[in-house]
Amino acid sequence: MSQPTNRVFSGVQPTGNLHLGNYLGAIRKFVALQASHECIYCVVDLHAITQPTAVWGGPAELARNTREVTAAFLASGIDPGRHIVFNQSQVIEHAELAWIFNCVARMGWLNRMTQFKEKAGKDRENASVGLFAYPTLMAADILLYRATHVPVGEDQKQHLELTRDIAQKFNNDFAERIAELGHGEAYFPLTEPVIEGPATRVMSLRDGSKKMSKSDASDLSRINLTDSADEIARKIRKAKTDPEPLPGTVAGLAGRPEAENLIGIYAALADLDREAVIARYAGQPFSVFKPALADLAVEKLAPINAEMRRLLEDPAEVDAVLADGAERARAIARETMRQVRQIIGFLGA
Ligand code: AQP
Any domain includes 246: yes
| Cβ burial, residue 122 (10 Å; 0-12/13-18/19+) | exposed
What are 22-55's pLDDT values in tens digits? Answer: 999 999 999 999 999 999 999 999 999 999 999 9
Q: What is the pLDDT of residue 243?
A: 95
Total structural domains in the chain? 2
Any domain includes 82: yes
Any domain includes 304: yes
273 and 185 share a domain? no
Any domain includes 249: yes
Q: What mean pLDDT is predicted for residues 57-75?
A: 98
Q: What mean pLDDT is predicted for residues 212-229?
A: 96
Q: What is the pLDDT of residue 30?
A: 98
Phi and psi angles of residue 149, each rounded to the nearest 5 degrees, phi first? -140, 140
Any domain includes 104: yes
Whether the Cβ atoms of residue 149 and residue 22 lie closer than 8 Å to each other? no
Any domain includes 270: yes
298 and 322 share a domain? no
Q: What is the mean pLDDT of the chain?
A: 97
Is 235 considered catalytic here? no
Band (242; pLDDT cuts 50, 70, 90): very high
260 and 167 share a domain? no
20 and 78 share a domain? yes
- Candidates 222, 159, 145; CA nearest to 195 is 159
Question: Could you say which of 169, 214, 240, 290 is catalytic?
Answer: 214
d(CA 138, ligand 1 centre) in Å: 14
54 and 166 share a domain? yes
- The parent domain of residue 302 ranges over 219-310
67 and 82 share a domain? yes
User: Above 90 in pLDDT, residue 302?
Assistant: yes
Question: Could you say which of 122, 157, 210, 211 is catalytic?
Answer: 211
d(CA 152, ligand 1 centre) in Å: 8
Any domain includes 32: yes
33 and 173 share a domain? yes
Is 29 considered catalytic here? no
Q: What is the pLDDT of residue 20?
A: 98
261 and 326 share a domain? no
186 and 50 share a domain? yes
| Residue 6 CB contacts under 8 Å (≥ 6 apart), including other chains | 36, 37, 38, 148, 149
Look at ligand 1, atom 24, and give the residue with the nearest C-alpha. Answer: 213
CATH of the domain at 253: 1.10.240.10
Question: Could you say which of 119, 157, 169, 290 is catalytic?
Answer: 119
Q: What is the pLDDT of residue 120?
A: 95
CATH of the domain at 154: 3.40.50.620
Q: What is the pLDDT of residue 2?
A: 66
Band (3; pLDDT cuts 50, 70, 90): confident
Q: What mean pLDDT is predicted for residues 57-70?
A: 97
d(CA 313, ligand 1 centre) in Å: 26
d(CA 43, ligand 1 centre) in Å: 13
| CB 28 near ligand 1, within 6 Å | no
| CB 317 near ligand 1, within 6 Å | no
First-residue to last-residue Cα distance in the chain: 15
| CB 215 near ligand 1, within 6 Å | yes
Is 211 considered catalytic here? yes
| CB 25 near ligand 1, within 6 Å | yes
